[in-house]
């Protein structure tokens, strides 16, 4: 079998599924195994939600660093166990109807399918396997003695850093960025779209839709079958 000489890079949240990283953490917060643990984590998340929402709009990198701090103290075994349940209960039902078709089209075009997401790798690994992705580029939680420190191993996958990890991926595999594709729903992912030869806006927010129209990028709707 011939190895694909180009890649299709997909953002996940909003692009392939209708969830985001807050949904994943909320699921963990509600499934801590004890009433006290559940109540405490939920209260902390709820109290921080307005600030996190505002921070996400201003500085995605700072948002990620603060948000992942909520995982501090969780055991790796528990996080991995809940990841399977997260996929079954939350992510799989949230797949957009047109996701499978979009992935199939890129495969027929001879592309490797690569998911590029700011989510933690263990929360989306099952989803990547389910979708048949060739590779997953995601944030990685730092663990010490099997316990999460609340810190992500650098570099944080977000914004302009997504574009950089895509460049690194292509260099390592001898792929040409100008032959690659990228798909995202958010203007915050403009760098990952602009760095490839074939950018596509998927279920775009208002700012990305405006940019896509200005640059005559394709606009795709995966919310429909």
Residue-wise pLDDT for 2-28, tens only, equals: 556 899 999 999 999 998 777 776 777
The pLDDT tens digits for 92-106 are 999 999 999 999 999
pTM of the model: 0.86
* For residue 89, cis peptide bond before it (omega within 30 degrees of 0): no
**Residue 174: per-residue pLDDT:** 93
**Residue 34: per-residue pLDDT:** 45
Q: Is the pLDDT of residue 169 over 80?
A: yes
62: helix, strand or coil: helix
* Residue 121 pLDDT class (50, 70, 90 cuts): very high
* Residue 64 pLDDT class (50, 70, 90 cuts): low
For the chain, give every domain's residue range: 6-220
Order of strands across the sheet that contains 111-120: 135-139, 111-120, 6-10, 181-184, 198-202, 219-220
**Residue 36: per-residue pLDDT:** 35
**Residue 43: per-residue pLDDT:** 45
More confident residue, 54 or 46: 54
Contact by Cβ (8 Å): 110, 103: no
Q: What is the mean pLDDT of residues 82-88?
A: 90
Q: Is the pLDDT of residue 191 over 60?
A: yes
Give the count of alpha carbons within 13 A of 164, CB side only.
Answer: 8
**Residue 56: per-residue pLDDT:** 60
Least confident of 41-50, 137-146, 179-188: 41-50
* Residue 198 pLDDT class (50, 70, 90 cuts): very high
**Residue 102: per-residue pLDDT:** 96
CATH code that applies to domain 6-220:
3.40.50.1000
């Amino acid at each position: 079998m011939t190895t694909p000489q180009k890649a299709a890079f997909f953002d996940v949240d909003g692009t392939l599924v209708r969830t985001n990283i807050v949904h994943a953490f909320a699921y963990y917060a509600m499934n801590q195994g004890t009433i006290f643990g559940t109540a405490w984590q939920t209260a902390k998340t709820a109290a921080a939600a307005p600030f996190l929402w505002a921070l996400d709009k201003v500085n995605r990198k700072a948002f990620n660093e603060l948000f992942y701090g909520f995982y501090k103290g969780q055991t790796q075994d528990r996080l991995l166990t809940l990841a399977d349940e997260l996929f079954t209960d939350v992510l799989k039902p949230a797949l957009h109807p047109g996701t499978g078709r979009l992935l199939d089209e890129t495969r027929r075009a001879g592309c490797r399918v690569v998911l590029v997401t700011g989510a933690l790798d263990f929360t989306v690994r099952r989803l990547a396997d389910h979708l048949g992705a060739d590779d997953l580029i995601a944030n990685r939680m730092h663990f010490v003695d099997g316990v999460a420190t609340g810190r992500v191993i650098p570099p944080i996958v977000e914004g302009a850093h997504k574009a950089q990890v895509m460049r690194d991926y292509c260099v390592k595999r001898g792929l040409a960025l100008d032959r690659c594709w990228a798909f995202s729903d958010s203007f915050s992912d403009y760098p990952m779209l602009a760095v490839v030869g074939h950018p596509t806006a998927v279920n775009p927010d208002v700012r990305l839709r405006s940019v896509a129209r200005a640059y005559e990028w394709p606009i795709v709707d995966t919310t429909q079958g």
